Chain A
Amino acid sequence: GPLSERPLMDVRLGELHAWISTCSFSPQGLLGAVQRAWSGYCAKYIHVRRGGPAGISMLLAGSCVLSYGWNYQHLKQHRWRKYH
């Protein structure tokens, strides 16, 4: 289909720049993008008949990574070596 209506996973690397220029960065656009991403994730991993631990484990891992990133400046002080 046309470039602007394709989801991100179907966009090739060369077309990435063009694709980013077509999406709207207004608050509604961003909110819509976040909502679409979340509902896509839910439909694929959570709202299934026989799901497993994969649905929430990915969310928890993602939250671990995010919180590590938010606390990185504080954790940097507990390094073992000074020079890497």
Chain B
Amino acid sequence: VLHTTRPLHTTQQSLAPVPPLPEKGGEVRHGLIPEEFFQFLYPKTGVTGPYMLGTGLLLYLLSKEIYVVNHETAAAACILTVIIYAIKKFGPEVAAFADKLNEEKMASALAMKNEAIQILQTAIEEEKKEQWRVEGRSYLFDAKRNNIAMLLETNYRERLLMVYNEVKKRLDYQVAMQNLKRQKEQDHMIQWVEKNVVQSITPQQQKESIAKCILDLKALSKSAHAAV
């Protein structure tokens, strides 16, 4: 059972982000003794207490020869002098160089992080844009539906036309057949009638008709002569 009223993610995760390094280390006096020692002795002995302690300790070690002075002491003295001189002289430059290296590393890491954030930001915007585009899908579907309706209509009309053409062809054929049949019947009948008529004209009738024509022609020529 998940209690939805319980707030989630209220505390920082322990692993990230890593806490940044402290700016300066613990205070050390003279490069050797931590400041805590001086603070520890301050309430009882004041400011000069640790120094007195150091001097007394040193004298005790020397006088009892717990610390033996030999050639190593001279070598240590020379080496320490050189080291301290070098640190005092070149310390700040080396520190600046190291700081610059650190700065470059930090800057490159920060740049990478910012670039990653930027990329993700643009990805988010792209996604939002895509979501906005999705809202227009109703228009897209309307257009597609119109297209499809158009196609269907066109197809239907094409087929209608084809049907019409085919039917017309068949009917024309029938009409042409009928016409042809009537024509043939007519021609045949005319021929048959002419043949019969020609047959029925006997030679007797032919002579009579020719004589009649000649008489008519003569009469006509007479009337024509008279007219002229």
Instruction: Check B21 against A47 for contact (C-beta < 8 Å).
Output: yes
Given A54-B31, A61-B32: A49 and B22 within 8 A (CB)?
Answer: yes
Instruction: Check A48 against B22 for contact (C-beta < 8 Å).
Output: yes
Docked pose: A8 CA to B5 CA in angstroms: 45
Docked pose: A64 CA to B47 CA in angstroms: 27
* Chain B: number of interface residues, binned into ranges: 20 to 34
* Chain A: number of interface residues, binned into ranges: 20 to 34
Q: Which residue of B lies closest to A41 (CB)?
A: B26
Given A45-B25, A48-B22: A53 and B91 within 8 A (CB)?
Answer: yes
Chain B residues near A47: list those with CB within 8 A.
21
Per-residue interface assignment for chain A, residues 1 to 24, with 1 indicating a CB less than 8 Å from any chain B CB and 0 otherwise: 000000001000000000000000
Instruction: Check B31 against A57 for contact (C-beta < 8 Å).
Output: yes
Confirm or deny: B135 has a beta carbon within 8 angstroms of a beta carbon on chain A.
Answer: no
Q: Which residue of B lies closest to A75 (CB)?
A: B68
- B28: contacting residue among A54, A78, A80, CB under 8 A: A54
Instruction: Check B102 against A78 for contact (C-beta < 8 Å).
Output: no
- B24: contacting residue among A9, A48, A78, A80, CB under 8 A: A48
Chain A residues near B70: list those with CB within 8 A.
75, 78
Instruction: Check A50 against B31 for contact (C-beta < 8 Å).
Output: no
Closest chain B CB from A8 CB (angstroms): 12
Instruction: Check A51 against B25 for contact (C-beta < 8 Å).
Output: yes
Most buried by A among B24, B34, B68, B95: B68
Instruction: Check A49 against B65 for contact (C-beta < 8 Å).
Output: no
Most buried by B among A45, A50, A78, A79: A50
Docked pose: A9 CA to B70 CA in angstroms: 37
Chain B 2-58 residues near chain A, CB threshold 8 A? 21-26, 28, 31-32, 34, 36
Chain A residues near B68: list those with CB within 8 A.
75-76, 78-80
Given A53-B91, A57-B32, A84-B63: A46 and B69 within 8 A (CB)?
Answer: no
Given A75-B70, A78-B70, A80-B65: A50 and B24 within 8 A (CB)?
Answer: yes
List chain A positions with a Cβ less than 8 A from chain B.
Answer: 9, 44-55, 57-58, 61, 68, 75-76, 78-81, 84
